[in-house]
Amino acid sequence: MKYEKDIILFIDKEIIKHMIQCIEKASPNEACGLIFGKIKEQKKPNSEKDYSYYYNAYKFECIESSHKSPVAFLMDDYEKLINLSSSYSKDFNYQLLSIFHSHPGSAYPSGVDLPYIESYYKSNITKFKHLIWTIMSAESKELNGFIYIFNGLKQILVQIRKK
């Protein structure tokens, strides 16, 4: 899988703790949730056109999956997601940064995930255009991030802040 170096997701340890609680609550099924925060766009030094994007996570919302399964999750209520996202935007001036879910073993997208990620990107709902997909292993608690851009899925760096 290709790696996108110009996008980094920063998450506080407190949010990681909430993500782990979400996984424990959903066990043995996959957990899912939403991460909200702000995106900072920064022009790269010595460049006119190149930017780095820093996704700063500030809030996490555990969501009950519409499909309880140890191998898949489903957030099929777009209206609920849009309303929740609008609420965070209005109340905190945050935007939806990431859709989170867990896997029993690995922290990488499965064959089930790939068409789902692509469908969100192609849904023509602006809030879903440049989302990071975070996946945590329920077993090891490894966390990885992925973004669908340029007609493909790329891995991004996830940095955990000690805050």
Of the pLDDT bands very low, low, confident and very high (cuts 50, 70, 90), residue 132 is very high
d(CA 146, CA 33): 15
Instruction: Give CATH for domain 3-161.
Output: 3.40.140.10
Please write the tens of the pLDDT for every residue from 96-128: 999 999 988 889 998 888 888 888 777 776 666
Give whole-number Cα distances, 153 to 90, 97, 124, in Å.
Answer: 30, 16, 18
Q: Is the pTM of this model over 0.85?
A: yes
CA distances to 3, 68, 109, 155 from 30, in Å = 25, 7, 13, 21
